[in-house]
A = this chain, B = another copy of it.
Amino acid sequence: NMLSCWLSRLCRGFSTPTGRITHLSRGSLSRTLVLSSQRRIPEFSSFVARTNTCGELRSSHLGQEVTLCGWIQYRRQNIFLVLRDFHGLVQVVIPQEEVIEEVVGIKDAKTEALRLQYRYLDLRSFQMQYNLRLRSQMVMKMREYLCNLHGFVDIETPTLFKRTPGGAKEFVIPSREPGKFYCLPQSPQQFKQLLMVGGLDRYFQVARCYRDEGSRPDRQPEFTQIDIEMSFVDQTGIQRLIEGLLQYSWPSDKDPVVVPFPSLTFAEALASYGTDKPDTRFGMKIIDISDVLRNTEVGFLQDALSKPQGTVKAICISEGTKYLKRKDLESIRKFAADHFNQEVLPVFPKASRNWNSPVAQSILEEQRSGLIRLMEIREDDVVLLTAGEHKKACSVLGKLRLECADLLEARGLVLRDPTLFSFLWVVDFPLFLPKEENPGELESAHHPFTAPHPSDIQLLYTEPEKVRSQHYDLVLNGSEIGGGSIRIHDAELQRYILATLLKEDVKLLSHLLQALDFGAPPHGGIALGLDRLICLVTGAPSIRDVIAFPKSFKGHDLMSNAPDSLPSEELKPYHIQVSWPANSEAEKSSLNQPYCPES
């Protein structure tokens, strides 16, 4: 067994290096044999001295000379070592005339902050290697599908742009002209529509986008989306395109993606799941039981049903009495009370053992049997019941549905198959929402370029709050992984919506309106959140685990210490100065020590 290894500098924990580049060699059979007989695609050993990766050596290589490159994983008394590369491990017997000075592996246990600070070490882990390599492969397959199979053109759009209307979450970049700023865009939305006007009728880009949301868990100030726009297309066309895209690019070690994906309207999703991004891997749907309980004597149900929009809703937790303890149900009631100011009652319609529930005693026998029929309740099931206005009642039960799923799984029930990927289209969203700060005015539910539903055009001029849009969301396992719409391509309609309905300053978008004036084809598109998608595919606990160099949840790069202080003279060319908050005069002195690491 002939073996020749060219080893990189060795490492010990986080201290200084004590090893050195070493060349191990035994025997001298030609390595040409290996190269010619073992040619693979892709060829990981082209252009380098390496002939094989550590992971691919088999007994068939016996007697051949190979050259490997890697890190030392384990060593025993200069006799024996385990060499590691991204592809696997190999055992190496060390010729006794060679000496290796010191070898220690990388410590496993690290906090999250330590992992980010020493990111280059964390990247050596199997999981990070798997995540980043899978990400690269999936994106490559997506490109093949879009470019090579369907004639899309990969076009880069600028990231030094201007403020968009309402773009309060955009980073600003001072220019060398006093008082003039670029902004980093939240998406290439305007550019991709302008490309449609420009006759580039099948555009895509793996686009870097920016959003300054301050500190948010599991969000990144820069993120990546698969950004797509097409001319002459309708909603169904975009949906079939994306289903094909995911099916084509899906990793071969997962179950294949089944298309077409099911679809729910926004109204249906809210009624059945209490959310516009339902996790459809399990049932436990929300059911309207108003009719069954119309004559109830339970006070708060009576109150709710007597109001014009009043409803009673429930979810059925299968085998709830087996898996949930009394204190679980108490904590569920408390959660609803604390977070939604909403009363939620557990009912046990067929339970043999019964907890001391006030409602159980107040529900009549015919109501109980009505419930059992309507909700298909079986022995040991628990029903959670609430009352109130339709949307609010659905929202609270939607949240409890997910809480209960977590509880049941913590108790050992497998509710959500970890190998299952459950895609869902959600469609027919409202075009407008009442403004939070002033409910008498409207704002776009998504963005102002979204086209109204063709059936609702006339409502724009009479009851705009009732208009549905041609927006669609793609949901996977309860996470929104994409969203898009058919766009407005008529300049007059776009002007009416911006100026009359949304009261926006149309001057900010004059270039887009003028472009529509010059003849825009009908068009639409979508953007997939790549970080979130890869996170779900790999089962990673955080999007930070599918990004090579992520920021901490405070937006810091803990490895290089960004953002950092700058000497004030470096701000002069940009005609800006720092406005120090009154209570942070102390921090001002950091200008004199501009590069001290974050404590």
Quick check: B575 and A579 within 8 Å, CB to CB? yes
A24 to chain B, nearest CB (A): 15
With both chains docked as a complex, state the minimum distance between the C-beta of A596 and any C-beta of chain B, in angstroms.
9
Q: Which of A89-97, A272-280, A585-593 contacts B (4 or more CB under 8 A)?
A: A585-593
Stretch of A198-206, A355-363, A461-469, A473-481 on the interface side: A198-206
Is residue A498 within 8 Å, beta carbon to beta carbon, of the partner chain? Answer: no
- Residues 168-184 of A, flagged 1 when their CB comes within 8 A of B and 0 if not, give 10011111111111111
Once the chains bind, are A47 and B148 in contact (CB under 8 Å)?
no
Q: Which of A5-13, A27-35, A416-424, A430-438 contacts B (4 or more CB under 8 A)?
A: A5-13
Chain B nearest CB: distance from A155 CB in Å? Answer: 5
Q: How far is B492's CA from A17's CA once the two chains are assembled, in angstroms?
A: 10
Query: With A42-B150, A577-B577 known to touch, is A507 a contact of B595 (CB < 8 Å)?
Result: yes
Cβ distance A82 to chain B, nearest Cβ, rounded Å: 15
A550 and chain B: residue at smallest CB distance: B158
- Considering only residues 132-160 of chain A, those with a C-beta below 8 Å from chain B are 132-133, 136-137, 139-140, 143-144, 147-160
Of the residues B208, B519, B571, B591, contact of A11 by C-beta under 8 Å? B519
A230-242 near B? 1/0 per residue, CB < 8 Å: 1111000110110
0/1 per residue, A561-579, Cβ < 8 Å to B?
1111110001110111111
CB pair A123–B161 under 8 Å, yes or no, is no
How far apart are the CA atoms of A17 and B494 in the complex, in Å? 14
Residue from the list B140, B151, B580 in contact with A179, Cβ < 8 A: B580
Tell me how far the C-beta of A500 lies from the nearest C-beta in chain B, rounded to whole angstroms. 18
Interface residues of A in 447-499 (CB under 8 A from B): 489-491
B155, B162, B521: the one contacting A564 at CB < 8 Å is B162
A479 to chain B, nearest CB (A): 20
Given the complex of chains A and B, what is the CA–CA distance between A590 and B19 in angstroms? Answer: 62
Could you tell me the distance in whole angstroms from the C-beta of A23 to the nearest C-beta in chain B? 12
Residues in B neighbouring A128, C-beta threshold 8 A:
198
**Chain B residues, CB < 8 A from A181:** 563-566
| CB–CB B140/A148 < 8 A | yes
- Would A522 and B120 be within 8 Å (CB), given that A42-B149, A172-B173, A178-B587 are in contact? no
B residues within 8 A CB of A152?
Answer: 42
Mask for A210-221, Cβ within 8 A of B = 1, else 0? 101010000001
Does A114 make an interface contact (CB < 8 A)? no
Docked-complex contact B179 and A153, CB < 8 angstroms: no
Residues from chain B with Cβ under 8 Å of A584 in the complex:
178
CB neighbours (8 Å) of A175 from chain B are: 555, 563
- Tell me if B50 and A124 are in contact (CB < 8 A): no
A71 with B519, Cβ < 8 A, contacts A140-B143, A161-B557, A591-B179 known: yes
A560 touches B180 (CB 8 A): no
A361 to B162, CA, bound (A): 66
Is A161 touching B562 in the complex (CB atoms < 8 A)? yes
Q: Which residues of chain B have C-beta atoms less than 8 A from A562's C-beta?
A: 160-162, 182-183
> Considering the chains assembled together, what is the distance between the CA atoms of A150 and B485 in angstroms?
38
A200 to B155, CA, bound (A): 27
Q: Is A300 an interface residue (CB 8 A)?
A: no
A559 within 8 A of partner (CB): yes
Which chain B positions have C-beta within 8 A of A16?
491, 517
Cβ A559 vs Cβ B511 within 8 A: yes
Leading 7 A-B pairs by shortest Cβ distance:
A123-B198, A11-B519, A162-B562, A8-B521, A42-B151, A47-B237, A44-B151
Provide 9 A-B residue pairs closer than 8 Å at the C-beta atoms, listed in order of the A residue.
Answer: A8-B231, A42-B148, A47-B241, A48-B233, A48-B237, A123-B197, A132-B200, A136-B153, A171-B173
